[in-house]
Amino acid sequence: MKKQLITLTAALMTAISIQAADIVETAKSTGTFTTLTAALDAAGKTSMLQEKGPYTVFAPTDEAFAALPKGTVEELLKPENKTKLGKILAYHVLSGKVMAADVKTMKATTANGADLDVVVKDGKVTVNDATVVKADVAADNGVIHVIDKVLMPPM
pLDDT at 66: 95
Locate the domains of the chain by residue range. Answer: 21-147
Greatest CA separation for the chain: 67
pTM of the model: 0.84
pLDDT at 31: 85
User: Which tens digit of pLDDT belongs to each residue from 128-154?
Assistant: 999 999 999 999 999 999 999 999 998
Tell the CATH superfamily of the 21-147 domain: FAS1 domain (2.30.180.10)
Tens place of pLDDT per residue across the chain (155 aa): 444 434 433 433 433 334 459 899 989 888 889 999 999 999 998 888 888 889 999 999 999 999 999 999 999 999 999 999 999 999 999 999 999 989 999 999 999 999 999 999 998 999 999 999 999 999 999 999 999 999 999 87
pLDDT at 20: 53
pLDDT at 13: 40
